[in-house]
Amino acid sequence: MRTDWMARCLAALLCLAVCTGPAAALEPTGRAAYLMDPYSGRVFLEKDSQEPLPVASISKLMTLVLILEAVDRGELALTDLVTASPFAASKRGSRIWLEAGEQLPLGELVYAIAVGSANDAAVAVAEYMAGSEEQFVELMNQRAKELGLTASTFVNCTGLPEEGKPPNLMSARDAALLARHALQVPLLMDYVSTYEYTMRADSTKIPVLWNANKLLRRYYGVDGMKTGFTTEAGYCMVATAKRDGLRLIAVTLGHKTEEERESAARALLDYGFRKYQSLQLYPKGAAVGSLECPTGKPKTVDVVLPHDFYITVERGKEVDFVTVVKLDTELRPPIPQGQTVGTITVMYQDEVLGSSPLTVGQPVERLSFPGLVYRLAQALAQAIF
């Protein structure tokens, strides 16, 4: 497949109306930190972000991703009854006091993991989904590789320390990238944005769970994601917040107290919202070019954005940016509607302001042999006349 263009450059000048002045420089605290805009992919701040560190219950974010991706694929249902094994019921730390043999709906156990960080619930679901916690952990590490988490290693589904084993490790960057993916997992944000949840609502109503992410109630715009604590990991947090179209992911690891963790997350988010703003460059479905398909029907198809496309720019700063579109030249029909066929990237000098996949706006079928002959005849006729 050929395309009649491989890259399109669009120069424009952004003159931002709101000018608040430069934000004060921020020195992140804790052992590691990372601040990014998941829509554009821009990284605003980082500190020791590539170092693998213990992350405690932040590990459960991967557990939630795997569970809810399986639900989305239809392999699990939130109404499934999950039976707690003696091993799951024995888990210490944060828990919902499962008894061996007790059955609860999967959806309720997902709340226990997301809101209460319940270790017994996490193991029960891991066993239900994969047969054992060990097999589930294999899925966690496999998914980490697929998502490009290069400094992550999981040994269990909870983040609990285990005697004779190393802790679950992630870098601050990996935690942010996992959170970026988690934003796209159906239902996940509904769970991690919940502040209070009552277990066993139809019977004992015990326990009532409270989310350890206090920023859900204390910081405007925060709607997730996960906290963690062990003696080795310290107090850790992945937080995400959205204001005026700008979403931020803040990761802060290795704090001595819960108060320090919250203060560090606040400082990262404050810095991002003061200094940057998000601008919609194209709406969902906008055509940014076309793809020529010599053996396809139709021969030419629009290349469109699968979602609203934002770029993130510094407040009060004039930016000359360049838009580059690259398309896959190796594709052959049939091409289903929605298949990724390229990327769009907006650059300012050497910095990426935003990037998005591109898809075809309609399906492209493989042209029949008579159709190919007719198209060739038309091309020859045009060449002659």
Instruction: Give per-residue pLDDT as tens, 253-282.
Output: 999 999 999 999 999 999 999 999 988 899
Least confident of 5-9, 173-177, 333-337, 355-359: 5-9
**Which of these is catalytic: 57, 85, 152, 356?**
57
- Does residue 57 have an active-site annotation? yes
Start-end of CATH 2.60.410.10 domains in the chain: 11-15+283-384
Quick one: pLDDT at residue 379?
Answer: 65
Q: State in words which class domain 11-15+283-384 has.
A: mainly beta
Catalytic residue among 40, 49, 60, 226: 60
Of 85, 117, 290, 356, the catalytic one is: 117
What is the share, in percent, of the chain residues with pLDDT greater than 70? Answer: 90
What confidence tier does 21 reach under pLDDT thresholds 50, 70, 90? very low
Average pLDDT, rounded, for the chain: 90
**91 in catalytic set:** no
Residue 203: what residue type? S
- Per-residue confidence band for 78, with pLDDT thresholds at 50, 70 and 90: very high
CATH topology of domain 32-276: Beta-lactamase (3.40.710)
